[in-house]
Chain A
Amino acid sequence: DTGVSQDPRHKITKRGQNVTFRCDPISEHNRLYWYRQTLGQGPEFLTYFQNEAQLEKSRLLSDRFSAERPKGSFSTLEIQRTEQGDSAMYLCASSLGTSGRLEETQYFGPGTRLLVL
């Protein structure tokens, strides 16, 4: 499979629990992005990695959220003490960046749909 994959595809959890999502980018891609999408809205940027370095974090990413990309390949997004407002689709994207400007196409995974009860 040469596309971006995400696991799990669906997650139902109770408020207060911790959840972790995984994203596997296209193998040669050095850049990885996380987005959140709520119903009827476009995706909103959360954070971005170039290789293993986390270079940008949105103000949407509260202290309860943490993302890692330890070896510059797969990435994890953890939400601690989940709240009902965290219910959304979490999308991962990857790209191959060869210039200083970020202008290349991003390829999206299928997303992880989170429901917090």
Chain B
Amino acid sequence: KQEVTQIPAALSVPEGENLVLNCSFTDSAIYNLQWFRQDPGKGLTSLLLIQSSQREQTSGRLNASLDKSSGRSTLYIAASQPGDSATYLCAVRRDDKIIFGKGTRLHILP
């Protein structure tokens, strides 16, 4: 059974710092891995999707990497801003389902 774990569960960093969020999964047979952002009480916004054949994706200040063999992904956020404060969810996909982690609650201190 696929399990997705995100560490840390919560993180507070001063504005301007670079930071890394971690995601691990137990079954490497995935189609893709996706990072989402969720603001309190809101739906999910897709940030980056990495196909199983890819090793990383970049969008603006965000960079996501995928090491399928070791079951790990990282989301790197450069030059953090208060507007980056949200919960970040990692999700892996195989067949019909997306399996989500519990998320990392990120708070950027002004």
Interface residue ranges, A against B (CB under 8 Å): 4, 6, 33, 35, 40-45, 48, 55-56, 58, 91, 93, 101-103, 105-111, 113
Flag whether B81 is at the interface (Cβ < 8 A): no
Flag whether B83 is at the interface (Cβ < 8 A): no
Contacts of A113 in B (CB 8 A): 41
Q: Which of A4, A91, A103 has the most chain B CB atoms closer than 10 A to its own CB?
A: A103
A102 B93 Cβ-Cβ under 8 A: yes
A106 B96 Cβ-Cβ under 8 A: no
Q: Choose one: B43, B49, B97, B103; the contact of A45 (CB below 8 Å).
A: B97
Flag whether B86 is at the interface (Cβ < 8 A): no
B96 A110 Cβ-Cβ under 8 A: no
Name the residue of chain B whose CB is nearest to the CB of A91. Answer: B43
Name the residue of chain B whose CB is nearest to the CB of A112. Answer: B43
Contacts of B43 in A (CB 8 A): 4, 6, 91, 108-111
Nearest 4 pairs of A and B residues by beta carbon:
A42-B100, A108-B44, A56-B96, A110-B43
19 CB-based A-B contacts, threshold 8 Å? A6-B43, A33-B98, A40-B102, A42-B4, A42-B89, A42-B103, A43-B44, A43-B98, A45-B99, A48-B97, A56-B96, A56-B97, A101-B31, A102-B31, A103-B52, A103-B93, A106-B46, A107-B46, A108-B43
Q: Which of B52, B97, B102 has the most chain A CB atoms closer than 10 A to its own CB?
A: B97
Flag whether B18 is at the interface (Cβ < 8 A): no
Q: Choose one: A6, A42, A101; the contact of B101 (CB below 8 Å).
A: A42
